Amino acid sequence: MSTRDFSEFKTLLDNPRNNILVDIHSCPIERASIDADDPKYNEYFIKVPRNIYVVLISDFGQNKIGEDNVQHQDRMMYGNPSWPWIGDSEVLRTAQIYFPGDDIFNPLMMFGQPGEYDENYDIFNVVTGQPASFNKSNKQLQGKEAYMTYSRKTILAKLRGNHPKIVYIATCDPRGDKPSTWTGIQWNNLIRKRQLLQKNHRSIFKKFIKTSGTSRRSARQQGYGASGRSAMGLLQNVDYQHFEIDMDSITPLTIKAVSIDDDTKACVTQCDYKKSCTDNIPLVGTIAKFCQNKYCTFETGETGICKEYNEIEMGKRSKRSKNRQSKKRRGGKRQTNKKKKRKHRHRSRKRRSRKRRPRKRRTRKR
């Protein structure tokens, strides 16, 4: 990973008047997400726009939860001078920094629906708490379902401006289900990239805290205490819980097997022989033929013959053992055939000895 210059990000933390909190749901990938009649969701990864730093608070496979008005507790934390060195432990654990130009996952997103508990979900300035200039009911941006039409790309593009800013997005990150037209390998690649992005950008966040903390504490944090939903000193009416496991997704995290006839049908149960075939019952005729194949249950609920993926197809790469590496790769000389080498040396010595042996002088008999 390339070295990051945190200077502008640090400046934006010191002057948070342009920084934004996006309070919004993230929707799971659906089996029909990329059908021909609904092509709006076909960009799973995008580049973060210029002048925007994204701080994403999410945990893969988890739903973000909170009580009413919790967004303002979070907003006060992000606008506090002690952030991010003093903050809620779960927020600090899951926070990720994305710089302009970085790849970021691009789910569909939705604000709350009128009359529901989440109707006040919006985009807020972290200092003033006032909603930002964003029309969340814009009919031109709405698709089949109202309030469920924005992608992360749309949100970030609308917030981009001439002045740099930090955009905080505290949201769910459900695994979702494999689109019906995708193969198992495509799904495994998508999941692997999502997890890798989250891991790498959490590391960037931790590196920033570690390298920038001392100077910022001395410059800004004197006389300030934590506010909002922070690690210590919370009131009882401020909720502590942040995440719960996503239980709605059906597609496995890693698809290990698919239909033998159709790679787009993923197994949601283990691909294995029928129990009757493994109980040591003598098999004859059609029963023996039946037991030559493995079976599983697919996402659609039907059962059929399946085939298993190998480790590379499942998104795993086997690590080469150091013992298998040649000496040359480990910094030494490559091994050679000792027998051959000795034989070769023996011949060489013989040749040399023959050359060095002085000739006998011939004497004539008198």
Does 251 fall in a domain? no
Does 173 fall in a domain? yes
Does 51 fall in a domain? yes
Which residue blocks in the chain are alpha helix, DSSP H? 7-14, 70-79, 89-94, 152-159, 184-220, 285-290, 338-356
Q: Are residues 126 and 268 in the same domain?
A: no
- Tell me which amino acid residue 100 is: P
Residue 133 is predicted with a pLDDT of 63
Does 12 fall in a domain? yes
Residue 138 is predicted with a pLDDT of 62
Cα(175)–Cα(74) distance, rounded to whole angstroms?
Answer: 24
Does 344 fall in a domain? no
Does 339 fall in a domain? no
Asked if 30 contacts 139 with a C-beta cutoff of 8 angstroms, the reply is: no
Residue 236 is predicted with a pLDDT of 43
Residue 223 is predicted with a pLDDT of 44
Residue 105, classed as helix, strand or coil, is: strand
Does 120 fall in a domain? yes
- The CB density around residue 202, as the number of other CB atoms within 10 Å, is 18
Residue 242 is predicted with a pLDDT of 76
Element (H, E) at 125: strand 123-125
Residue 148 is predicted with a pLDDT of 55
Residue 232 is predicted with a pLDDT of 36
Q: Are residues 145 and 230 in the same domain?
A: yes
Q: Are residues 224 and 300 in the same domain?
A: no
Asked if 38 contacts 144 with a C-beta cutoff of 8 angstroms, the reply is: yes
Final residue of a structural domain among 245, 274, 290: 245
**Peptide bond preceding 358: is omega within 30 degrees of 0, i.e. cis?**
no
Q: Are residues 55 and 152 in the same domain?
A: yes
Q: Are residues 41 and 98 in the same domain?
A: yes
Asked if 108 contacts 207 with a C-beta cutoff of 8 angstroms, the reply is: no
Cα(103)–Cα(60) distance, rounded to whole angstroms?
Answer: 16
Q: Are residues 264 and 229 in the same domain?
A: no
How many domains does the chain divide into? 2
Q: Are residues 205 and 281 in the same domain?
A: no
Q: Are residues 284 and 135 in the same domain?
A: no
Q: Are residues 168 and 79 in the same domain?
A: yes
Q: Give 47's DSSP letter.
A: E
**List of the chain residues with pLDDT < 50:** 34-36, 39, 142-144, 216-238, 321-322, 325-336, 363-366
Q: Is the dihedral of CA 135, 137, 143, 146 positive or negative?
A: positive
How many helices (H) and strands (E) in the chain? 7, 15
Q: Are residues 108 and 135 in the same domain?
A: yes
Cα(270)–Cα(261) distance, rounded to whole angstroms?
Answer: 17
Final residue of a structural domain among 293, 308, 323: 308
What's the domain range around 176? 7-245
Q: Exposure string (b/e) for 136-154, b if CB count within 10 Å is 16 or more? A: beeeeeeeeeebebbbbbb
Final residue of a structural domain among 288, 308, 328: 308
Residue 365 is predicted with a pLDDT of 46
Does 345 fall in a domain? no
Q: Give 173's DSSP letter.
A: B
Residue 284 is predicted with a pLDDT of 57
Q: Are residues 203 and 241 in the same domain?
A: yes
Q: Are residues 44 and 192 in the same domain?
A: yes
Asked if 267 contacts 297 with a C-beta cutoff of 8 angstroms, the reply is: yes
